[in-house]
Amino acid sequence: NAGVTQTPKFQVLKTGQSMTLQCAQDMNHEYMSWYRQDPGMGLRLIHYSVGAGITDQGEVPNGYNVSRSTTEDFPLRLLSAAPSQTSVYFCASSPSWGRDGNEQFFGPGTRLTVL
Amino acid sequence: AQSVAQPEDQVNVAEGNPLTVKCTYSVSGNPYLFWYVQYPNRGLQFLLKYITGDNLVKGSYGFEAEFNKSQTSFHLKKPSALVSDSALYFCAAWGYQKVTFGTGTKLQVIP
């Protein structure tokens, strides 16, 4: 199993550009989520999905869109990049959303810089 | 609202000494609590979890954590620190469909 994969590893954007961060998992996990990590702020939840076709907002959803057309894939779209979106982005998956106490599996992260 | 607090930004400990990284939580219902470790330029890795049962939970790499319901704490411990334990540690808790993370504690083990 490859686990959770993310592409790209690094990305530099100009303000106003759009892009999609890719996330895939091969563990048939029901739950997937996107976080951003900023110094001193821990991990903040952007969006999550409890299954294919179902998504919801997390703590900091503004400026981001997601979709979940398959169990495996959960792409994160930046609609119009802003310098405030400079961060490290992590995708994670879990067998279920938490009712069974399952841990999350994290991807290696995407380091995004917006100029 | 659910919250997880890690009161120390950094913990320094000498190699071979015991270490403790603190975590307190505020959740409704039965807490599902986790510790994750992050090495530089890597994703988070699961260390251990408390779901139910014994208050002392054992995990990977010799780490353990003590759940204390009355103090709403879930401190991470290790009897003898290694230099290779130096990393960023996160405490986390499941709420309804969402995980709340603490802000992280940087552990520095000094040779």
Best of A91, A96, A104 to substitute, by most chain B Cβ atoms within 10 angstroms, is: A104
CA distances from A61 to A35, A36, A95 (A): 10, 10, 23
Partner residue facing A98 (CB), from B32, B43, B46: B32
Query: How far is the C-alpha of B111 from the C-alpha of B109, rounded, in Å?
Result: 7
Test B90 with A90 for CB contact under 8 angstroms.
Answer: no
| Pairing mode of beta strands B99-101, B87-94 | antiparallel
Cross-strand bridge partners of residue A94: A31
- The pLDDT tens digits of the residues spanning B44-94 come to 999 999 998 889 999 999 999 999 999 999 999 999 999 999 999 999 998
**pLDDT score of A22 more than 90:** yes
Percent of chain B topping pLDDT 70 = 100
For B29, phi and psi rounded to 5 degrees?
A: 75, -165
Residue range A104-110: mean pLDDT, rounded? 96
Mean pLDDT of all residues in chain A?
A: 94
